[in-house]
Amino acid sequence: MVNDAVVENVVEFDAFDLEHRANPYPRYRVLRETAPFCPVRLGAARVTVATTYAGCAAVLQGSEWGRGYADGLNPFRPGVAPGEVPGGSFLGMDPPDHTRLRALVSRAFTPRASLAETPFVRLVVDRLVAAAVDDGGLDVVAGLARPLSVAVMCRLLGVPVADAPSFLGWIQGIARGTDPDYLLSPADIVVRTACARDLGRYLFELVTVRRVAPRDDLVSRLVAIQRDQDVLTEVEIVELCALLLAAGLDTTANLVTNGVLALLRHPDQLELLRERPELMPAAVDEMLRYDPPSQFVTRVALADTTVGGQSFRRGDGVVVLSAAGHRDPAAFPDPDRFDVTRYAASPPARRHLGFALGLHYCLGAPLARIQAEAAIGTLLSRAGELRLATEDVEYRPNAALRGPASLLVNIKGDSDAHR
Ligand code: HEM
The pLDDT tens digits for 250-262 are 999 999 999 999 9
331: left (phi over 0), alpha (psi -120 to 50) or beta: alpha
User: Each residue of 260-286: pLDDT tens digit?
Assistant: 999 999 999 999 999 999 999 999 999
> Does 252 sit in the ligand 1 pocket, CB within 6 Å?
yes
pLDDT confidence of 229, banded at 50, 70, 90?
confident
74 in contact with ligand 1, CB cutoff 6 A: no
Q: Choose the residue to mutate in 90, 240, 251, 298 for probing ligand 1, maximizing ligand atoms within 8 Å of C-beta.
A: 251
Assess contact for 355 and 347: CB atoms under 8 A.
no
CA 297 to ligand 1: nearest atom: 16
Q: Between 149 and 8, where is the model more confident?
A: 149
- pLDDT cut 70: percent of the chain above it: 96
Spatial separation of the C-alpha atoms in residues 384 and 418, rounded to whole Å: 5
- Architecture of the CATH domain 52-315+350-418: Orthogonal Bundle (1.10)
Question: Which tens digits make up the pLDDT trace of 156-188?
Answer: 999 999 999 888 999 989 888 888 888 899 999
355 lines ligand 1 (CB under 6 A): yes
**Mean of per-residue pLDDT scores for the chain:** 91
pLDDT reported for residue 107: 83
Residue ranges of domains in the chain: 52-315+350-418
